Structure 1
């Protein structure tokens, strides 16, 4: 079903103050229409039950996931110096569709998040639909200066977030913008149809979502992405 374009343009960007990297691949798939067709087929979109993603998800086809893994693995190994002894495992793989109205977001859904504290766990994000949708922002937590949450930083970070809200109050209902009293967006990747983005899962990040622009329950018209999470720390 899927083929990468031979001309796929891979760019590596250093971001933030922690020597982090993100990889951006434009014009990734030569079979995008096939992927979109599957996404709009008879799939069971529902909350994933594992994360706080503010929308609905459906399982990605196995051949798509296998292809993404085969494409991304050597790039991730090279750029992040992943030992060959560490074998990759796909922990989650979904079509993702933003459907939650901003008035219905939980407090934590109004903040940037991290996927894991693991060092070698990576998120792969593929923007699938044409449209002027919001991209993805990477954030610095201002009270601590943290941009990535390791196991050692997790407790301090979580305590600091809660303490800040206890004094300053909860964030107003709505999706995360590019800045707030507690977080600063220091880098963003624009949404572009058929763009693939890879980044460490412990980076603080968020979709840069507009209620009017991005929230839609139709996979043919909404902010549709494919999300594959690759874990090199299971072995």
Structure 2
């Protein structure tokens, strides 16, 4: 399923913001596109998260193989040790800008678990050849933690016009710096590229600058395989924590 001898490139976007990039990650990436096409009708919107499109949860046995690859090659690089739980999904970003909700106008962190002794790692495999559909962008907040938390909370509470009036953020995919977040870098999409990063610590977003190119066809759309890993944080050097 995976390249047995992956070459891992660590990209330092800014202090403390690192992304691990593996090209030619999957041994047969076309298999995943075919799988998505075969189960196209099973993709659905997930109301419990802010993903701007359709998702298909992967069977546990496939997700377990992703976790094994993550454990062997990446987990320690993210300051994590044992995986407590994880899952993966195929996903296609499909929404036009005029259908986005305010929470989809801003970058986000993955909040599967908030305990300080956990690392929430994330992976994205790009399964499309049209790189103009966008890779993944990373941001750092420009306001303090309280103000940023209030913005995030109200992005899920306020009506679109009210959110724009209060925070000055218009409807769009989050692809550039604004008064609230500074964009510190982008990993470009590339066929059969997989990236890993600390999704619980790093603000990130799909870097969709050309939403008119999105579509619901797995063979042509922005198809990705996304993994989410809740891990125990590795003890700091010199600590006797178990």
TM-score by length of 2: 0.81
CA–CA distance in structure 1, aligned partners of residues 84 and 194 of structure 2: 19
Say yes or no: does 1:104 pair with 2:99.
Answer: yes
3-state DSSP class of the match of 2:62? helix
Residue 38 (structure 2) aligned to one of 37, 41, 53? 41
Aligned with 1:88 (options 80, 84, 89): 84
After TM superposition, the runs of 4+ consecutive aligned structure 1 residues lying more than 4 A away are 160-163, 165-168
Indicate the residue corresponding to 1:232 in structure 2.
231
Aligned residues between the structures: 217
- Cα distance in 1 between the residues matched to 2:38 and 2:96: 24
1:88 aligned counterpart, secondary structure = strand
Please list the CA deviations of residues 173-201 of structure 1 after superposition, one character each: whole Å capped at 9, or x if unmatched.
22112222322210110000111111111
CA RMSD of superposed structures (Å): 2.4
Matches within 5 A, 1:130-141: 130-132=129-131, 133-141=133-141
Whole-angstrom distance in 1 between the partners of 2:167 and 2:147: 19
2:70 aligned to which of 64, 72, 75:
72
Q: Secondary structure at the match of 1:40?
A: helix
Aligned: 1:113 with 2:108: yes
Aligned counterpart for 1:171 among listed residues 165, 169, 176: 169
Q: Distance in 1 between matches of 2:44 and 2:165?
A: 36
- CA shift, 1:167, in A, is 6.9
Q: Which residue of 2 aligns with 1:212?
A: 212
Identify the residue that residue 127 of structure 2 maps to in structure 1.
Answer: 128
Give 1:99 shift: 1.2
- Secondary structure, aligned partner of 1:67: helix
CA contact (8 A) 1:139 1:205 kept: yes
Q: Could you give the per-residue CA deviations for residues 136-168 of structure 1, whole angstroms, max 9, x where no partner exists?
A: 100122223xxxxxxxx4x452126659x6875
> Is the alpha carbon distance of 1:231 and 1:171 closer, same or farther for their aligned partners in structure 2, counting shifts above 3 Å?
same
Consecutive unaligned residues in structure 2, runs of 5 or more: 156-162, 234-242
CA distance in 2, matches of 1:75, 1:87: 13
Residue by residue over 1:119-144, the C-alpha shift from the partner in whole angstroms, topping out at 9 and shown as x without a partner, is 41111111012112211100122223
Q: TM-score, normalised by structure 1?
A: 0.83
